[in-house]
Amino acid sequence: MTAKTAPDAIRITDSTLRDGSHALSHRIRVEQVQAVVTALDASGVQVIEVTHGDGLGGSSFNFGFSEVDEIDLVRSAAETAAHAKIACLLIPGIGTVDDLKAAHDAGASVVRIATHCTEADISEEHFKAAQALNLETVGFLMMSHRIGPDELARQARIMVDSGARCVYVVDSAGALTLQGTEDRVGGVAAEIGGQAQVGFHGHQNLGLGVANSVVAYGAGARQIDGCLIGLGAGAGNSPTEVLVAVFDRLGIATGIALQPILAAAEEVVRPMAIRDPFMDRGAIVQGYYGVYSSFLLHAERAAARYNVPLHKILQRAGEAGYVGGQEDMIIDVAVSMRQPAEVG
Amino acid sequence: MSKIAAAIVGSGNIGTDLMFKLQRSARLDLRWMVGIDPSSDGLRTARAHGLVTYSDGVKTLLSGPDAPQIVFEATSAAVHLANAPLYAAAGIRAVDLTPAAIGPFAVPSVTTQEVRLAPNVNMTTCGGQATIPIVAAVSRVCRVEYGEIVSSIASQSAGPGTRANIDEFTRTTARAIQRVGGAERGKAIIILNPVEPPMMMRATVFCSIPPDSSTEEVTSSITAMEATVREYVPGYRLKAAPQFDEPDSRWGGVGRVTVLIEVEGSGDYLPKYAGNLDIMTSAAVRVGEIIAEELSGEVAA
């Protein structure tokens, strides 16, 4: 008779106060941060991400201005949390090492450094700086559906060699289906396993965020992202409270207690949502055509402003292959669809 | 019109593309190309086009009896930091295409007397060359409290130097938006996109404008600036008329103008999608010509 060993535990990072920033148009206030962090911390969540939706330095015309300076939000989160670590997102090209230092000084202890999935080599200076600050380092390969497992593994290797202790397969467009998730997470795990962990960040545009997270676990992921009530870009993220319930049923420890996390979702976050994350036409088109999830609200504004159908803007953005950060191109697409093509 | 003797230091992609452009200049006489590897594609191409080439860095170039009056530096920030004092000691004007940024920023359509006279000028960044003229066009007709630019380039056109120092791009460009563009605060964002076939360089300028601004005046200033930039970067164009947004409380009560830009390269040595590299070399030629005018003037006086 062999002794049964418990399956590996996972660490869930809650991104309500970062990816959820998109769904709130970056209008997050200090008292909201305090309420969410208090509830997550009491539930046993170990890592709480707090940043503008587009990462440090994201407050801008292009992405939308933060109502409250994100560094103040990070400080407030760090002061509120009794146990949880506070994480920040940094997208090189948007935020800089200076922003990272400010976040560190405000109490962040984890940094997640994100690049488009083919551009990992632009993150090296940021990983080095993060290590010098003694921050826990996580790499984020965005829009992972755009390349296959082998290329993704090569990019993950670049991040690990630069200092990442975990690399996430990030389904920014909510475009991955089950096999696609399994292949990519498996490919990355085969390359970096033993040296670094693998994570998975899902979106619900095609309704598969939670299912993909379970598949990712099976393929080797040990860090999984969620947001309370799924509050996040596009149709939202894998809901943290659903992840907790599902992994509990699967006998996989998350360290998070179910009843408190359900209360956090229902009583703390649902009342603050301007809109419930939902798989509407725009979001499904995003998943289907592989459009960066945070384009959704920008495209809604452009659709209204230029009187162009939302789903057509998003489809065009997907076909053009725009990547995260190119929110300005939504205006370009809407303007060009409104104007007849120039002659000549 | 007498021509001013010029040299290119750095025989990589930028230096080689610059060579093709400088050879067409009516004011500059490109005579030397300096590299470090005699068998490099850049130095071979330069020899084939009749240039004198050296592969020992700037040593021979600066020790000869016949020295250039202008040097275009297309190496790296570190190399330029080492070379700049040598140029200065030899009385040679330097146009710096690296991120070293020792001298004032030079954007040809917004050229100042400072740039005409400085011993060393810096070409800012590709995104800066594409967008700062537009920020300046807005700030010359109304107050720009805040100017922001987004520059998207094809991943295929981003070399290892850019990739290793992406923060340098955002910091330098933001600074130049203020100093040259005239915005009170500046922000720059750079995005690399790997799509195939490679995307043309795109840039977007967002400027805050006061609620009472005249959209006609802002538009005509921007359109005039587009024409000025096109004189030295033929592939530079606005993709649409400037877009105006009403004042918004989320922006602190200011309005906004958005300018959508595309830069198609001339395809001299680099592919046409690499408008980001083309605008740097094209602008550098123009800055060199402005300095040549100044130098010729001194000679005439």
Digit-coded pLDDT (tens) for B153-212: 999 999 888 899 999 999 999 999 999 999 999 999 999 999 999 999 999 999 999 999
Q: Cα A42 to the chain's mean position, in Å?
A: 22
Phi, psi of B99 (to 5 degrees): -80, 10
Contact assignment for A61 to B206 by CB distance below 8 Å: yes
Question: Is residue A283 within 8 Å of A275, Cβ to Cβ?
Answer: no
Contact assignment for A321 to B199 by CB distance below 8 Å: yes
Residues of B in contact with A336 (CB under 8 A): 239-240
**Cβ contacts of A280 within 8 Å, gap of 6 or more:** A235
Per-residue pLDDT reduced to its tens digit, A31-57: 999 999 999 999 999 999 999 999 999
CA A122/CA A135 separation, integer angstroms: 19
Distances (CA, A) of A210 to A241, B230, B298: 10, 52, 72
Query: Cis bond leading into B197, ω under 30°?
Result: yes
The residue of chain B with its CA nearest to that of A26 is B250
What percentage of chain A's residues is helix, strand, coil (to nearest 5)?
A: 50, 15, 35
Select from A27, A59, A60, A61 the residue whose CB has the most chain B CBs within 10 Å, as the one to mutate to test that interface. Answer: A61
Neighbour tally for B250: CB within 10 Å: 11
pLDDT at residue B300 is higher than 90:
no
Question: Is residue A156 within 8 Å of A186, Cβ to Cβ?
Answer: no
CA B172/CA B151 separation, integer angstroms: 13
Chain A contact residues (CB < 8 Å to B): 57, 60-62, 64-65, 92-94, 96-98, 116, 118-119, 121-122, 124-126, 146, 320-329, 331-332, 335-336, 339
Q: Where in chain A is the domain with CATH 1.10.8.60?
A: 294-343
Is the domain covering A294-343 a CATH 2.40.50.840 domain?
A: no
Per-residue pLDDT reduced to its tens digit, A247-283: 999 999 999 999 999 999 999 999 999 988 999 999 9
CA distance B109 to chain A (A): 24
pLDDT at residue A154 is higher than 70:
yes
Instruction: Please give the span between the terminal C-alpha atoms of chain B, in angstroms, as a whole number.
Output: 14
pLDDT at residue B71 is higher than 70:
yes
For residue A339, the model assigns a pLDDT of 64
Question: Which whole number is the average pLDDT over B229-234?
Answer: 97
Give bridge partners of residue B238 from the DSSP assignment.
B261
The pairing of beta strand B52-54 with beta strand B70-73: unpaired
Helix locations, B140-165, DSSP H: 160-164
In one letter, which amino acid is B43?
L
Question: Is residue A252 within 8 Å of A242, Cβ to Cβ?
Answer: no
Token readout for A197 is 């962990």
Q: Cα A222 to the chain's mean position, in Å?
A: 16
Grade residue B111 by pLDDT with cuts at 50, 70 and 90.
confident
CA distance A204 to chain B (A): 24
Helix locations, B140-186, DSSP H: 160-164, 166-179
Tokens 């390269």 belong to B265
- Apex A245 CA angle, A240 and A250, nearest 5: 120
Tell me which residue in A96, A320, A336 faces B167 most closely, judged by beta carbons: A96
- SS3 sequence, B15-48? HHHHHHHHCCCCCEEEEEEECCCCCCHHHHHHHH
Question: Is residue A334 within 8 Å of A305, Cβ to Cβ?
Answer: yes
Tell me which residue in A61, A146, A324 faces B148 most closely, judged by beta carbons: A61
Q: Where in chain A is the domain with CATH 3.20.20.70?
A: 11-272
For residue B2, the model assigns a pLDDT of 83
Per-residue pLDDT reduced to its tens digit, A134-145: 999 999 999 999
Residues of B in contact with A116 (CB under 8 A): 191-194
Grade residue A344 by pLDDT with cuts at 50, 70 and 90.
very low
Tell me which residue in A118, A124, A320 faces B164 most closely, judged by beta carbons: A124
Report ipTM (2 d.p.): 0.95
Distances (CA, A) of B59 to A196, B7, B264, B297: 47, 13, 36, 29
Average pLDDT across chain A, whole number: 96
CA distance A179 to chain B (A): 23
Contact assignment for A96 to B170 by CB distance below 8 Å: yes
pLDDT at residue B3 is higher than 60:
yes
Helix locations, chain B, DSSP H: 13-22, 41-48, 59-63, 77-89, 113-117, 126-139, 160-164, 166-179, 215-232, 275-300
Grade residue A343 by pLDDT with cuts at 50, 70 and 90.
very low
List the one residue out of A183, A247, A190, A245 whose CA is nearest residue A213.
A247
pLDDT at residue B299 is higher than 80:
no
pLDDT at residue A181 is higher than 90:
yes
Neighbour tally for B50: CB within 10 Å: 9
Tell me which residue in B171, B194, B202 faces A96 most closely, judged by beta carbons: B171
For residue B161, the model assigns a pLDDT of 84
Per-residue pLDDT reduced to its tens digit, A269-319: 999 999 889 999 999 999 999 999 999 999 999 999 999 999 999 999 999
Contact assignment for A121 to B155 by CB distance below 8 Å: no
pLDDT at residue A341 is higher than 60:
no
Q: What is the three-class DSSP state of A121?
A: helix
| CATH classification code of A11-272 | 3.20.20.70
The residue of chain B with its CA nearest to that of A127 is B164
Distances (CA, A) of A135 to A111, A138, B168: 6, 9, 22
Sheet order of strands, B28-34 included? B52-54, B28-34, B4-9, B70-73, B93-96, B120-122
Token readout for B8 is 């290119």
In one letter, which amino acid is B296?
S
Tokens 């993909």 belong to A212
Tell me which residue in B146, B163, B239 faces A122 most closely, judged by beta carbons: B163
How is residue B220 annotated by DSSP? H
List the one residue out of B221, B124, B249, B259 whose CA is nearest residue B180.
B124
The pairing of beta strand B243-245 with beta strand B201-209: unpaired
CA A28/CA A31 separation, integer angstroms: 9
Select from B126, B144, B150, B256 the residue whose CB has the most chain A CBs within 10 Å, as the one to mutate to test that interface. Answer: B150
How is residue A340 annotated by DSSP? P
Select from A119, A289, A328, A336 the residue whose CB has the most chain B CBs within 10 Å, as the one to mutate to test that interface. Answer: A328
pLDDT at residue B298 is higher than 80:
no
CA B290/CA B293 separation, integer angstroms: 5
Token readout for A314 is 């998003």
Q: What is the three-class DSSP state of B277?
A: helix
- Given B126, B257, B285, B295, which residue is catalytic? B126
In one letter, which amino acid is B61?
L
